[in-house]
Structure 1
Amino acid sequence: MTKHTVLFELGCEELPPKSLKTLRDALKAETEKGLKDAGLNFTAIEAYAAPRRLALKIVDIDAAQADTQKRFDGPAVQAAYDAEGKPTKALEGFMRGQGITVDQLSTFQAGKVEKVCFLKDVKGQSLDALLPQILQAALDNLPIAKRMRSAASRTEFVRPVKWVVLLKDDQVIEASIQDHKTGNVTYGHRFHAPEAVVLAHANDYLTTLENAHVVADFEKRQATIQAQVKTLADEVNATAIVPADLLDEVTSLVEWPVALRATFEERYLAVPQEALITTMQDNQKYFCLINAEGKLQPYFITVSNIESKDPTQIIEGNEKVVRPRLSDAEFFFLQDQKQPLASRKEKLANMVFQAQLGTLWNKSERIAKLAVALSPITGANAADAEKAALLAKCDLTSELVGEFPELQGIAGTYYARLEGENHEVAEALGEQYLPKFAGDVLPQTKTGTTIALADRLDTLVGIFGIGQAPTGSKDPFALRRSAIGILRLIIENELDVTIEELVNFALQGYGDVVKDHDKTRADAVAFLEGRYRAKYEDQGVAVDVIQAVQALAPKSPLDFDKRVTAVNHFRTLPEAAALAAANKRVANILAKEATPEGAVVEANLVEAAEKALYAELSALTPVVQPLLAARNYTEALSKLAALRAPIDAFFEGVMVMADDAELKANRLRLLAQLRNLFTAVADVSVLQG
């Protein structure tokens, strides 16, 4: 079949930059689905996106659908003809409905019944006829939150459509898409090449547009920006901060990227650099520069959409625009310093944390008490922990945080340093919110760890205490994320404490505010233990490994983690599958039969295989027990892997359910001893092969 290259381009007013990549990818996916559903084969689809266009190049696509045959089923042969072999009324009705004669009939076997049918040849539709419908359907299915109409058109899109290109090689596929007649005319850069550009062939698209100052390939445009930004940063011995989201957004804002480096006054570097970076990134879409120590430098890089004859004008214009924003940040920073952090507690006393749980100051006081209680566990200085807790929320009333909410905690750290607080206290104010998301860094100071743990525990226990635990998709206090944060803080800092102990510490701070301490304790503990699965699945740990440990219900998160690590390693051993199966068999036997009391009687071991298993168990037990006591579960399970051969031999050569009651009881004791060694770490019987 003949193959073609097809080019489709939808020209629009500037598309939403944060949605451009999503729209491009969705257009490609929807078009691929439409082509496959229509039976049109193709080699590849290349998708392009720039501020004023979405485009697809479909390579080696069929000129038409393949011809097919459609079957129309009639009555059973037995009911289709009378005794003389003439058509019955049923068959005549079928032929009349299909507009056919007897000689056009066929038969087919439907199970045990032979039926009459008509096989109709269906000629495949041409690419020209099918493609416009497929593309329109793809556009209709794009993930657009709010669509708009433009001019008199009744069709809707995310932005007004200006032109549509639809080429099959060098020929226009004539159609109407988004109420626009298709053609071979596109438009270049709005300022550098605003006139119409004729596309001679679908393969000429990228080259033709580049000659018109438009880089239509998103990835190529992005790589150009990255290279230009790096060059400009290298020139001043700096490194550019290039967040992925910001890079995508900037790439979506320009058709012809030209990066330019500008400067700002060094006096602004006295302001917390997070505030300066935030305002430059979020409001101006600039790339900020830092030195090798991570300190902000007095430069920024802007990406222009114009190759100016006088770039200094663009640079000066951007410097003029950014100056008032930096001045605002400076003003707020200086204003805040007129009032010490500790004096802000009065404002916190008027800010409600939660109606039933009191104000932010009430919360601060609870966190302070909890932090002191946790200090022996975290290794923090109790006085530092208490002070940091009482200052922790004070910056929420500051002007800087009012303008830049993402600076909560960070602003407090700066103010605490200026007020002469020690390193542990100052750093803790920013670290209290860590980790902010999955995979985020943890606090580096012991005081920060203590406050981060106390803050989360206070919120979680309080919310459970007033009966507002998360339900379904509703989790207004982000307790699920907070719970995983608590587990990480305990495990990664190797804090040897049980979840129940931590919940009890938090409950003490609430007193009568929480009416039912027992229920709150049970619910909060169950909730925290229920987050193990989400935490470890995120790390790529298999569900059965988590379940193997959960079967033992370890009370300490640190202990739970060591067991998960051990089982995860165990399942990689060549003996794992056989030992898991053997443990399952042992568990099933012991579940049906009550294990007799007492130890294994060596004199009652008669078969060679059971003697060998007992000997191996006796030799391994004193080796494994100290490992278990030291929580070296990985090494313990590795040692137990040596039991595979004697266990296999035991089940091959020994009848557990012997007729002799003494032999049976002794063998059950032997299996119980074996099972207990493994379940001292986890229930490996639940592991899948």
Structure 2
Amino acid sequence: MAKDFLLEIGTEEIPARFINPALKQFKELAEKAFEEHRLKYEEIKTYGTPRRLVLYVKQLDEQQAELTKEAKGPAKKVAFDEEGNPTKAAMGFARSQGVNVEDLVVKTVGRVEYMYAIVKEEGHPTEKVLADLAPQLISGLRFPKPMRWGNLDYRFARPIHWVVALFGADVVPFTVANLASNRFTYGHRFLSDGPLKVNDAVHYFEVMSEGYVMVDGEERRRVIWQQVQDLAGSVGGRVEFDEELLDEITNIVEYPTALMGSFAEHYLNMPSEVIITPMREHQRYFPVLDADGKLLPRFIAVRNGTEKHLDIVTAGNEKVLAARLADAEFFYKEDLKVSLSDKVDELKKVVWLEELGTMYEKVQRIAKLADSLAVKLGVDQEQRDKLARAAYLAKADLVTNMVYEFPELQGIMGREYALKNGEDSEVARAIYEHYLPRYAGDDLPAGITGQLLSLADKLDSIVGCFAIGIQPTGSQDPYALRRQALGITYILLDADLPLSLREMISLAYSGYQDKEKLKLNAGEVVKEVQEFFKQRIKGVFSERGFSYDTIDAVLEAGFDVIADTWNRGRALSEFRRRPAFDDLLTAFNRVNNLAKKSPGGTVDEKLLQEQPEKELYRAYVNFKNNMVLYMKNKDYVAVFNEIALLLEPINKFFEQIMVMVDDEQVRNNRLALLYNLAEKMKSIADFSKVVA
């Protein structure tokens, strides 16, 4: 027989961002525990609302599965004497396993016969196992910021107020956080009165529905999104899908009802981001757009309740948003009274990092670094002037009223204020773009001005932090250096910028020469930051479809110019699809293995005696000469084509030439040939890293 098992942990309101990870963890813990305890079931599901985390197991067997264990004992010749009588070793082993000597069985391992005890352990009633297991599952959940409450030495996301544990219709008895499990739950905080009795696990969802709780988060999500779309469509508008906001709203309500409110049209004179930010970030509202993507004076909110008195709730939300927008409008108008360029001096009062100085000093460094990168790319003077202006203004919006109130608008307000101040449109766009990308999947800077400014800003942060000993460790990355390194990698790749990573790091470090509290010198920073980038590059290349060994091969050949490394990886991936690639890989490995025995040096053509080694040498020289031109033109496909031509002379060499001859000069000369050939091939990709 099988019955459903319900475990509900009732709490005070859990932060929305805790819920989905907790439910995933809850399910994984249960699956692992049930497997270890031999409990068979049909399906495990987890559900959550702000006030409860629920584990629901369908068709859980009423009894643990029987456990059969084999215990290996002494060898047969040790366990029994010549007459076949059990020795002390056999009797001691049988006693330790709880079986009779005559129940021991013989099994052959290799060529030796051993005694084995077959021990069968009957399964316990599931209800008894659950009584021990359930409190372990609850205490096993981990949260970013757990709480303690009262005088208890117990931690959870938020204080636990009740625990429901039912196996079928029976309460599974246990105690957790001084609370005894029972069959009484609670519905919606305001729409349901008093405890609700759950007679049987299968009736739990029915009881919750009557208590105005939509337990299934996926169902709440679907209902919310459908309501939002319907309301937007009712005024000829639409709502862009916002997964993060939808997930958050789903996990802050138990019984969702969407509502539409409005705000005064004159607020639309402000940039749309100024309106959307307080809506989304502070009030968790969905902005409504027209068919052309322009903001309408409408918003959609989701209340935690029914449609009763919805007009009052709507009016309350409108009042709150109106106050927010009035503040934003005031800040906006006040900020426009002073030009962005006049605010730059205020950055002298803003400390970026104590050891690295003020934000004003950072602006000076990134301006210089960005210009140095522009020179390396051959950017013309007119463009460099725009870059210098954008760098000068890049951080000025940090001291505006608007960004002080809404930090999410940094860069956005810089762009808007720059345009209002009559700055060049490319300068204004670069001010915004230098923060890009802000998160995974975000847009990248589109113009060269924004690209260089973004690179300079991020490099300055990474190099400065490494120089003072602030490197990301484990999950700790307070200054988002990993994200910034990924941003640099994406920009260099997508814009195909031929910039040297080593040179960029060195240039960035030179901006800190006047700082006295640096812990690492230039060489140390270059080495550590390069390794830091190597890990990010691996991740990006893998994410974009390269196999792990292709990545290892091209990175081993060098990754100083990231865009070139990517192009070499693409060429290698294509090259690997050739039918003859496996043969070529075998040939390379033979060359490379013998090359390791070489003392190095150049090849003495006079010592080449046999025709096959002369042909291989000519093939090597041709390859080396052609490679110079192809590498200069970044034609990596052509380089690999040249490598393919080496297969025949390499094979002929190994078929007809003895490398390790007695004549030391001849031997070393042949090894030198193989060494130089291997090194030249590895300069585009280390084939020894490739798995056939």
* TMscore range, shorter length: 0.7 to 0.9
- The structural deviation recorded for 1:302 is 0.7
Alpha-carbon separation, structure 1, partners of 2:583 and 2:688: 10
Alpha-carbon separation, structure 2, partners of 1:71 and 1:132: 28
Question: Which residue in the other structure is 1:416 paired with?
Answer: 418
Q: 1:21 to 1:387 in 2, by over 3 A?
A: same
Alpha-carbon separation, structure 2, partners of 1:73 and 1:517: 59
Which runs of 5 or more structure 2 residues have no equivalent in the other structure?
none
Question: Which residue in the other structure is 1:685 paired with?
Answer: 688
Query: Contact 1:107 / 1:114 at 8 angstroms: preserved in 2?
Result: no
Residues 588-626 of structure 1, C-alpha deviations (whole Å, 9 max, x = no match): 22232356745868995546xx79868977887787664
Query: Contact 1:462 / 1:514 at 8 angstroms: preserved in 2?
Result: no
- The structural deviation recorded for 1:418 is 0.6
Q: 1:73 to 1:500 in 2, by over 3 A?
A: closer
Range with bigger deviation, 568-577 or 241-250 = 568-577
The TM-score, its normalising length taken from structure 2, stands at: 0.84
Range with bigger deviation, 665-674 or 428-437 = 665-674
Question: Which residue in the other structure is 1:41 paired with?
Answer: 40
Please show how residues 107-186 of structure 1 align to structure 2 within 5 Å. 107=104, 122-144=121-143, 145-149=145-149, 157-169=156-168, 171-178=169-176, 179-180=178-179, 182-186=181-185
- The structural deviation recorded for 1:318 is 1.0
Question: Which residue in the other structure is 1:627 paired with?
Answer: 630
Question: Which residue in the other structure is 1:268 paired with?
Answer: 267
Please show how residues 391-410 of structure 1 align to structure 2 within 5 Å. 391-410=393-412
- The structural deviation recorded for 1:526 is 5.5
Range with bigger deviation, 506-515 or 19-28 = 506-515
Q: 2:452 aligns with which of 450, 453, 463?
A: 450
Query: Contact 1:637 / 1:678 at 8 angstroms: preserved in 2?
Result: no
- The structural deviation recorded for 1:218 is 1.0
User: Aligned letter for 2:558?
Assistant: A
Report the secondary structure of 2:596's partner residue.
Answer: helix
Identical columns (%) = 34
Question: Which residue in the other structure is 1:564 paired with?
Answer: 569
- The structural deviation recorded for 1:45 is 0.6
Q: 1:655 to 1:43 in 2, by over 3 A?
A: farther
- The structural deviation recorded for 1:162 is 4.8
- The structural deviation recorded for 1:423 is 0.7
Alpha-carbon separation, structure 2, partners of 1:93 and 1:557: 67
Range with bigger deviation, 324-333 or 158-167 = 158-167
Range with bigger deviation, 2-11 or 496-505 = 496-505
Please show how residues 425-444 of structure 1 align to structure 2 within 5 Å. 425-444=427-446
RMSD: 4.2
Range with bigger deviation, 445-454 or 76-85 = 76-85
Alpha-carbon separation, structure 1, partners of 2:154 and 2:393: 57
Alpha-carbon separation, structure 2, partners of 1:518 and 1:76: 63
Alpha-carbon separation, structure 2, partners of 1:14 and 1:366: 46
User: Aligned letter for 1:396?
Assistant: L
Alpha-carbon separation, structure 1, partners of 2:119 and 2:608: 84
- The structural deviation recorded for 1:126 is 0.2
Alpha-carbon separation, structure 2, partners of 1:616 and 1:84: 78
Equivalent pairs, count: 680
Query: Contact 1:172 / 1:183 at 8 angstroms: preserved in 2?
Result: no
Q: 1:22 to 1:560 in 2, by over 3 A?
A: closer
Alpha-carbon separation, structure 2, partners of 1:31 and 1:551: 43
Query: Contact 2:552 / 2:689 at 8 angstroms: preserved in 1?
Result: yes
Alpha-carbon separation, structure 1, partners of 2:630 and 2:249: 56
Query: Contact 1:5 / 1:202 at 8 angstroms: preserved in 2?
Result: yes
Question: Which residue in the other structure is 2:597 paired with?
Answer: 592
Alpha-carbon separation, structure 2, partners of 1:515 and 1:36: 55
Alpha-carbon separation, structure 1, partners of 2:410 and 2:53: 40
Please show how residues 58-77 of structure 1 align to structure 2 within 5 Å. 58-68=57-67
Query: Contact 1:172 / 1:182 at 8 angstroms: preserved in 2?
Result: no
Q: 1:685 to 1:599 in 2, by over 3 A?
A: farther
- The structural deviation recorded for 1:469 is 5.7
- The structural deviation recorded for 1:424 is 1.0
Q: 1:49 to 1:550 in 2, by over 3 A?
A: closer
Alpha-carbon separation, structure 1, partners of 2:92 and 2:663: 80
Query: Contact 1:76 / 1:113 at 8 angstroms: preserved in 2?
Result: yes
Alpha-carbon separation, structure 2, partners of 1:625 and 1:587: 21
User: Aligned letter for 2:685?
Assistant: A
The TM-score, its normalising length taken from structure 1, stands at: 0.84
Residues 22-74 of structure 1, C-alpha deviations (whole Å, 9 max, x = no match): 33222222222222221111121121222333222212222112344678999
Range with bigger deviation, 624-633 or 134-143 = 624-633
Which runs of 5 or more structure 1 residues have no equivalent in the other structure?
none
Alpha-carbon separation, structure 2, partners of 1:667 and 1:103: 72
Residues 204-223 of structure 1, C-alpha deviations (whole Å, 9 max, x = no match): 43345335433211111111
Alpha-carbon separation, structure 1, partners of 2:163 and 2:481: 49
Alpha-carbon separation, structure 1, partners of 2:314 and 2:573: 56
Question: Which residue in the other structure is 2:388 paired with?
Answer: 386
Alpha-carbon separation, structure 1, partners of 2:172 and 2:500: 72
Query: Contact 1:147 / 1:156 at 8 angstroms: preserved in 2?
Result: yes
User: Aligned letter for 1:35?
Assistant: F
- The structural deviation recorded for 1:421 is 0.5
